A and B are shown apart, each in its own frame.
Chain A
Amino acid sequence: MKIDEIIKTNNQNFKIFTIDKSINSININESGKHLYIYNHNKDEIKEVNVNINKNLDVIIFEYHNTNHKILTNINCNILENSNVTYNSFNTNNELESNKKINFNLSKKSTLKTYILELGNNLISNYNINLNEEESSVNFNLMVYADQKITQNHEVNINHLKPHTYSNMFNHAVINNQSSCIFDVKSFIKKGSIKSVAYQTSKILTLSDTCNTELKPQLLIDEHDVMGSHAASCGRASDEILYYMQSRGLDKLSANKLIAIGNLLKNAPEDLIEILISEIERRLTNE
């Protein structure tokens, strides 16, 4: 069963939007769950504007499953006091896809993302603008790449007003001759006092032939703020593997568990099982 079918099965009262035109506008005026299914059938950019009205609780699932290029340019505007959960799953097999997503947050609005990239070569660019006071984002980006796939992700979180909050969490698991770039930036701009920016990026390598590039940046142009960043790349430590092996797991199974654990951190609970089997399938090249 495909991820979108599981999403539909697990969730009643879903509003489904099929995005097949080149320019799409979606206005959300009620709380609820939404599923966006992208029909990528030509080499054209899908422009999508999503406007989420005030005081709403909205959960968005976005699913790309296609043998065509993904070329998207999404603008998502979240108005005052609205809480948005944005889940995106990509399993496309076409080369050189390109995604660009801008989130604009208004006063006291929140955004939580879980973006899982399991597809082919991809360049993505995420811009999250915390435009008004007390807006906040929990950004989770998870990537798995195998063979000779290149995944290039740029994430910018801009704190533009006081009392804004961001927590960015980027995890990748890469294998064989694949490569992954995380170019990530949290920028607390002048005037954004009492803002908080946390950032964690991690690339787990499963072979010696993969390439990683991590560019964690924390730019702070204001006093009286909090910020931290952590970044690491490399294999699972020998001690961790020894511990797992001492419970009976061989090295391959241990690495598989670590990879799944890394990719599913903060994943939607009701999709965990299907995501585990999807990732396992890729890890064992089935």
Chain B
Amino acid sequence: MGDFLNFIGQNLQEFYTYTGFANATAGHLVMIVVGLVFIFLAVKYEFEPMLLIPIGFGMLIGNIPFKEVGLQLGIYEQGSVMNILYQGVVQGWYPPLIFLGIGAMTDFSALISNPKLMLIGAAAQVGIFGAYAIALQMGFDPSQAGAIGIIGGADGPTAIFLSSKLAPNLMGAIAVSAYSYMALVPVIQPPIMRLLTTKKERVIRMRPPRVVSQTEKIIFPIAGLLLTTFVVPSGLPLLGMLFFGNLLKESGVTRRLAETARGPLIDTITILLGITVGASTQATQFLTLDSIKIFGLGALSFVIATASGVLFVKLFNLFLSKDNKINPLIGNAGVSAVPDSARISQTVGLEYDPKNHLLMHAMGPNVAGVIGSAVAAGILLGFLG
């Protein structure tokens, strides 16, 4: 009997060494708290719940401490379930599929009706390259700096796609940083927009967008693909899927495919992407000085992107006739956080003129930002890949 109890005792003691309590470190606890904060922000303030809930919960999953004895539990253990799901991030399958869904749900009419708004989408990409230059100064090598800079594009899938190619070791921090700041667009952008505009500029009323024909809508994805990818072929995975999704939507004869792309498919990929990106933030891999620097640079790139979009509109207005002026409050929408940054333009615009609805105008640069950030990613990949 004594031997039996001794045996049970030893087994329980060994079992304890496998538990999270025995293997927890301060890093694990910090990351679990960060995950809980993400979930709190999503539930309480509805900051991008679709992103922050999966990422936050993924952080919990990824930071449950365990003893590494080859049980294939961790996301970095080859053959584990999480590792298999994570391959979509590592190999870059998920981002193009997300872009397929984005293409199938995006209406480019606002952009087609006023094509000059595309330039605002280009101007906001300055944030990417501003952050790139600063990252170089902080000691990152050019490929790492490029991967960090893309956070300024405010496009999670693009950030994941590029970092998986240029700096796989920084991908977790870059992805979490990109999605966090996308969720914080309502906090980051308005003060910059107010700071850089005058009261007179904020109440500029823009001409209503013209009606766009179905022919133009169908030509847009085809011409868009040909014109952009002939210049930047390295952007093909993202741009190809974006425009393909949009053609499914606009052709009018593939409604079922478009509905799948913008519905069940994008939802499935969003779940897998969010949970695996969250789980990839294992404390041992994530809590480093580099991650802190990346978070700082991410915030900076968002600020630069927003400022450059707004300032570009002000500059652009110098060359436009009185009737065609653009309200600089839509400059922030040049980043590709769709449709959040366009909503910010609308909200801030209404504060100064309750009858001035900027949403439709802001959607133009907003969707141009999606194209612009994918092009910028292609350029970085072409230069540094």
A and B associate: no
